[in-house]
């Protein structure tokens, strides 16, 4: 893993215990194939990172929006730390490049799968927390997760935003349809399309049909935005 230093430069943090970063980047498919105890995977450390992320993001929204209701704060936090939003963070850092995967997961496109790379973001947070405590973990979260929130919120609410936009434009009927499934049974990925008057305007993937619809709606929104700018 010669590229760990490269990743440390990207995130602006150098690990005192590099084994923690190695663990955060190791998928269970690799550790299972190796059958060697020293190859720990990211599952336990991701569990911890998830809790740290929830606390830091909850604190951020509570302090930043003092007049918002609990319900709205919950929605805002969900938009910022949902799988799709964390996958955006992962792609910005190109985390997939540094993953250690088993052969099967490599062949199945694990480096680009939202469910995996989103978990890795949480695992990196957990690793930083274990290595240096809450302050450094919070710094990472503020810099890479709680950034560009308008963009991430748009992704989370893409279906609603797209529906409202098309209604205002009186463009016609918006529907969604399932076009297939990918991946193994335990990590199934659904593929959905967004259609306007029967014509495909966006496609997306997700761990659930709802998530795939959000992804398809987001793609359609980006096309609409690009068309308006043109």
Q: CATH code at 127? A: 1.10.1520.10
Residues 140 and 198 in one domain: no
Instruction: Determine the average pLDDT of the residues in 181-205.
Output: 89
153 found inside a domain: no
- pLDDT higher than 60, residue 37: no
Point out the domain boundary residue: 86, 117, 147: 147
**pTM, full prediction:** 0.74
Q: Give the span between the Cα atoms of 207 and 105, in whole angstroms.
A: 16
In this structure, are residues 91 and 113 in contact, taking their beta carbons and an 8 Å threshold?
no
Query: Which CATH number covers residue 179?
Result: 3.30.160.20
Q: At 191, phi and psi to the nearest 5?
A: -120, 125
Residue 188: pLDDT band by 50, 70, 90 thresholds? confident
Return the HEC string of 152-217. HHHHHCHHHHHHHHHHHHCCCCEEEEEEEEECCHHHCEEEEEEEECCEEEEEEEECCHHHHHHHHH
- If asked whether residues 138 and 201 sit together in one domain, one would say no
Q: Name the domain count of the chain.
A: 2
Instruction: Considering only residues 160 and 175, tell me which one the structure prediction assigns the higher pLDDT.
Output: 175
Which pLDDT band holds residue 38 (cuts at 50, 70, 90)?
low
Residue 204 lies in domain: 158-229
The catalytic residue positions are 50, 122
174 and 138 in one domain?
Answer: no
pLDDT at 76 over 70: yes
- The last residue of one of the domains, among 100, 117, 147, is 147
C-alpha distance from residue 102 to each of 39, 95, 98 (Å): 12, 16, 13
Least confident of 59-73, 107-121, 160-174: 107-121
Task: For residue 152, tell me if it sits in a domain.
Answer: no
Alpha-carbon gap, residue 215 to 225, rounded angstroms: 15
């Amino acid at each position: 893993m010669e590229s760990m230093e490269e990743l440390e430069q990207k995130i602006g943090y150098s690990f005192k215990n590099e084994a923690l970063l190695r663990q955060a980047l190791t998928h269970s498919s690799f550790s299972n194939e190796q059958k060697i105890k020293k190859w720990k995977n990211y599952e336990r450390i991701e569990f911890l990172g998830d809790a740290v992320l929830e606390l830091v993001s909850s604190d951020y929204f509570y302090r930043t929006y003092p007049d918002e209701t609990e319900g709205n704060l919950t929605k805002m936090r969900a938009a910022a730390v949902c799988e799709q939003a964390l996958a955006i963070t992962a792609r910005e850092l190109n985390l997939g490049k540094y993953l250690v995967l088993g052969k099967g997961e490599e062949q199945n496109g694990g480096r680009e799968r939202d469910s995996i790379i989103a978990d890795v973001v949480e695992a990196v947070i957990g690793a930083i927390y274990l290595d240096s405590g809450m302050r450094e973990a919070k710094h990472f979260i503020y810099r890479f997760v709680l950034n560009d929130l308008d963009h991430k919120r748009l992704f989370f609410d893409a279906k609603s935003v797209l529906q409202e936009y098309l209604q205002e434009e009186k463009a016609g009927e918006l529907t969604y349809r399932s076009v297939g499934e990918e991946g193994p049974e335990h990590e199934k990925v659904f593929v959905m399309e967004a259609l306007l008057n029967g014509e495909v305007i966006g496609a997306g993937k997700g761990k659930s049909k709802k998530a795939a619809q959000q992804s398809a709606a987001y793609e359609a929104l980006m096309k609409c935005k690009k068309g308006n700018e043109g």
